[in-house]
Amino acid sequence: MDIPYTVEPRPDTGIYNAKVGIWLFLASEVMLFGGLFSAYVLLRVGADPGTWPHGWQNMTLGTINTIVLAISAITTLMAWVSCKVGQFGKFRFFHACTLLLGLTFLGIKSVEYYQHLNHYEIKLSDGRIADGDMVSNDSAQDYVVIHGRYVTSEMDLYDLRAQKNIPDDEIKIPRSQISSMEDYGPWHNDYLALYFTMTGLHALHICAGCLVIGFLWGPGSKMWKTDPERFTNRIEVSGLFWHFVDLVWIFLFPVLYLT
């Protein structure tokens, strides 16, 4: 006996099987990211006063990425609509747009990661702290060069919102004066740990979405010829996933960038 309601909706629930499945899956995803967001709340509330970082992100890139994902949400929707009205060519175009926008997002994200990992906090033996982007860190030379500034206390580095206009200088620091040096990776503090973990998990979801969208754009689109209705449903279901991933970003952006 065949399994019913794989394509046509069940009369009393009004939806087909896969749609129930994806909504349940998304409910589970909400709890997954919910776990991380609650970790964020607990760690932020529990942080020592004045030590939670502000203004550590590249707002330009973050805003561009937000817009990129917002547009991709529209193109996903258009791809599904194109399938609904039977315009396969348009579908291919819009789905390619979504895929490219997804990849653009990942590209910009990796630039942001690079910027964090190239940003160093260098503690000097005289108690001062140098903070800035690494320019030269050649182990053959007995000095490092950063593009940044000196501060007297770590407390000066946490809230950078009001300090955007302080000029950065090229600073040359002899290695003999360095007591410790650390980049702004996830090991640096809880904020960056959360930033890398949450955006990393989100980026993994973008990767998964790109794989699915790529499959449905390429080899998977053969189904359009044999079973267009079921194919349209597949686009809808994958689109729901993509919208969810966009939505997670809409929460990540204010929580990690805007505050």
| Minimum separation from the CB atom of position 201 to other proteins (A) | 6
Choices 41-49, 63-71, 168-176, 209-217 (CB under 8 A): range interacting with other proteins:
41-49
In the bound state with other proteins, the residue whose beta carbon lies nearer, of 16 and 91, is 16
Choices 46-54, 122-130, 156-164, 234-242 (CB under 8 A): range interacting with other proteins:
46-54
In the list 35, 107, 174, 218, the residue contacting other proteins (rule: CB under 8 A) is 35
Q: Does 1 bind other proteins (CB under 8 A)?
A: yes
Nearest-angstrom CA–CA distance, 198 and 192: 10
Residue 101's nearest CA partner among 253, 213, 244, 254 is 213
Nearest-angstrom CA–CA distance, 192 and 160: 15
In the bound state with other proteins, the residue whose beta carbon lies nearer, of 74 and 155, is 155
Burial class (CB in 10 A: 0-12, 13-18, 19+), 183: middle
| Minimum separation from the CB atom of position 199 to other proteins (A) | 12
Both structure tokens of 9: 């909706």
Both structure tokens of 254: 């204010």
What's the per-residue H, E or C state across 97-166?
Answer: HHHHHHHHHHHHHHHHHHHHHCEEEEEECCCCEEEEEEEECCCCCCEEEEEEEEECCHHHHCECHHHCCC
Choices 45-53, 72-80, 103-111, 139-147 (CB under 8 A): range interacting with other proteins:
45-53
User: For the window 49-78, what string marks contact with other proteins as x by the rule CB under 8 A?
Assistant: --x---------------------------
Find out whether 212 and 38 touch, Cβ atoms under 8 Å: no
| Minimum separation from the CB atom of position 198 to other proteins (A) | 9
| Minimum separation from the CB atom of position 33 to other proteins (A) | 7
Find out whether 95 and 82 touch, Cβ atoms under 8 Å: no
Write out the binding residues for other proteins, residues 157-216 only, by CB under 8 A.
185-190, 193-194, 196-197, 201
User: 89 by DSSP, 3-state: which?
Assistant: helix
Choices 33-41, 70-78, 108-116, 146-154 (CB under 8 A): range interacting with other proteins:
33-41
> What's the Cα-to-Cα distance from 192 to each of 7, 54, 75, 117, 205, rounded to whole Å?
45, 11, 32, 11, 19
Q: Does 43 bind other proteins (CB under 8 A)?
A: yes
Q: Does 27 bind other proteins (CB under 8 A)?
A: yes
Nearest-angstrom CA–CA distance, 66 and 149: 30
In the bound state with other proteins, the residue whose beta carbon lies nearer, of 20 and 211, is 20
User: What residue ranges bind other proteins (CB under 8 A)?
Assistant: 1-5, 10, 13, 15-17, 20-21, 24-25, 27-29, 31-36, 38-39, 42-43, 46-48, 51, 185-190, 193-194, 196-197, 201
